[in-house]
Amino acid sequence: MIYNYDIPYEKMLKKLDYCKKWGVQIADCRYRPLDSIKDDYNPGKFRSGQTGEDYYIHTDGGWTDQKIRDFRRRVRQLNIWIRYARDKGLGYDKRMEKWSSIHNTFKFFHMGRPPQLEVIEKSPTWKRRLEMMNRIKNYYKKQNLNTLDYSSFTKKRIDEELKKIITNIDLPLFSSR
């Protein structure tokens, strides 16, 4: 979907509703003229906002900075809902945004689908395991090392292997936060 162009925000929201009904994820593209030499759009400035001087806003189509940010937020929420909640009959929950990161960590270790977020949040063991997995994944990516395959490991063996790696790469096991 190309937004921030001639199709008004309200009509784009209707398209978003159809995508939700059909269960279709959206690849969103913010329109910028080809001759545009400056684009300082900053997604982190959602509170203070930005102006047409920072990046191109197609005001002829009725777009504003706030509408662009709102549309992007809705697309992100829809895509996350489709990926992680729709098939389970659940609605969107902001905590699901963490789920994407957790899911990618499990992919790195070839460990299949992670347990439900509620299970992880209630379990000190899962929290500790996930912290170790993230630290190792980040280290391996920085060092350009291959992913690890723990698909056939028991949870006990996974914990043992994670602790060995953390010791070998000389990372503190628990952060001092």
pLDDT in tens, 107-126: 999 999 999 888 999 999 99
DSSP letter assigned to residue 174: S
In contact, 147 and 110? CB cutoff 8 Å? yes
Q: What is the pTM of this model?
A: 0.65
In contact, 29 and 5? CB cutoff 8 Å? no
Report the candidate in 78, 70, 147, 71 with the shortest Cα–Cα distance to residue 107: 147
175 has a pLDDT exceeding 70: no
Question: pLDDT digits over 126-148, tens only?
Answer: 999 999 999 999 999 998 999 99
Domain boundaries, the chain: 2-88, 96-168
Helix residue ranges per DSSP H, the chain: 9-22, 65-84, 96-108, 117-122, 124-142, 155-168
How much of the chain exceeds pLDDT 70, in percent? Answer: 95
- Encoding tokens for residue 107? 């992919």
Number of CB atoms found within 10 A of residue 97's CB: 13
How far is 56 from 4, CA to CA, in rounded Å?
9
172 has a pLDDT exceeding 70: no
Q: How much is the pLDDT for 177?
A: 46
Question: pLDDT digits over 45-56, tens only?
Answer: 878 888 888 888
Q: How much is the pLDDT for 105?
A: 95
